[in-house]
Structures are given as C-alpha cells and as structure tokens.
Amino acid sequence: MGKEPVTEQFFIGKLATAKDHFERALDCKHTEFDDLYPYMLEHPQFFWYKRYVAWSELLTIVNLCEELSFSWKEVFTPQQVDYLNSRVMSATVLDFWSEKEHAQR
C-alpha cells in the first residue's frame, strides 16, 4: 500500500466506508469489529458496543472533514446530517437512521 495523498476525495471515501460500517452495525451484520472480538458475539451488550464504536468512527471522520472544510454532508440525508451534528447516538438515531424505516412508521 503506497502513500495516498490526503485529499477531500480520500476523506469522502473513508466517510462512505464509516457510514457503511455504522449501517451494518445497526443491522447487526458482520463488520471488521466482529473479527477483532469473536468471543464477544455471545454477549448481548456486544451489539450496543459495536454500534457505539461505529458511531464514534463516523463522528471522528465527520469532525476531520469539518476541520479541513471538506464537503461531507452530501453523503447523508438531511436527517442523518442533523443526527451527526447533534453527535449523540440516541434511540432516535438507532430507530430512524434509515429513511425507509422512518417512512414505514
């Protein structure tokens, strides 16, 4: 792996990956985190922790994009941008991150 220039496109790619990671964690699908802690799969709190880690990763990259004045909001829906700006992973975020779910309720 060579040195990749730190560009806006690089960060947006990392942001898209982190978003996918968070969405997979919300859906209880396999992520890299499962490979790091395979013995934790048996514990119910593991899924909450996995979501928290994915949310933290997403917020970290959003924060870096903000500091570097990179356009990151286009990757998300307006409602998701509001959730990210509030920075709190609440029950609302967990329940309504996906607009499809929100529209069904």
Residue-wise pLDDT for 43-52, tens only, equals 778 788 889 9
**Which residues are CB-neighbours of 22 under 8 A, at least 6 positions away?**
51, 54, 55, 57, 58, 97
For the entire predicted model, the pTM comes to 0.81
How many other CB atoms are there within 10 angstroms of residue 23's CB atom? 15
Q: Could you read off the pLDDT of 27-40 as tens digits, one per residue?
A: 888 777 777 777 77
pLDDT at 64 over 90: yes
Q: Phi, psi (5° rounding) for residue 27? A: -85, 5
The residue ranges of every structural domain in the chain are: 8-104
